[in-house]
Amino acid sequence: MKIGVFDSGIGGLSVAKAIERALPEEQIVFRNDASHVPYGTKKPDILLGYVEPILQGLVVDGCEVIVIACNTVSTTLIEELRQRVSVPLVAMEPMVKPAAGQTKSGVIAICATPTTLKSERYAALKRQYASNIKVLEPNCSTWSKMIEDKKVDHARIADVITDVITLGADVIVLGCTHYHWIETDIKKIADGKAIVLQPEQAIITQLKKLLS
């Protein structure tokens, strides 16, 4: 089976590689939209015009399921895209529920793009799963571009992660696949103080259910 994986830039490549390792018998087709990166500061109606043609192209190329490896697209456009695209779409969104379930301090941090943090879907996740805990939303607005440009500001990342830990966060959610490329750095900073969550394994589990 062909499985499509879409993201705005290189972030989703880590997801595609994780799926490839977990499902070696399947063919993984990765597509991105590097010419319009970053997505996380753009409005949903603009993003729809970028994303739909790429997804339709994956369908034409024979993909029977597509992973939307972009939290920004998943939290703002997934329902509309599901109406327009003829194959199942697997969405990726911030892991608010698992974070809320694992925190012992009652404080979690969601590292995500501005558009994701402003989305109704993200607000609904917080209402449903995190109404009784404190949710920190640090400013990560420049992270996707610096990762895409391979100009990672390690000091800035350390400042952000240290700040949320100081404020009590014991769970840190990576709510953008670009951030997977700096996951090791974040885990080193958070070691012994906070756990770091990202959704690659959850996506693989969901894909296995679809395939079966």
The residues carrying an active-site annotation are 70, 176
| DSSP summary character for residue 62 | T
Rounded CA gap, 112 and 173, in Å?
Answer: 8
* HSE toward the beta carbon, residue 107, CA cutoff 13 A: 14
CB 65 within 8 A of CB 212: no
Rounded CA gap, 173 and 51, in Å?
Answer: 25
**207 contact partners, CB below 8 Å, separation of at least 6:** 3, 19, 23, 65, 67, 90
Tokens 């972030």: give the residue.
11
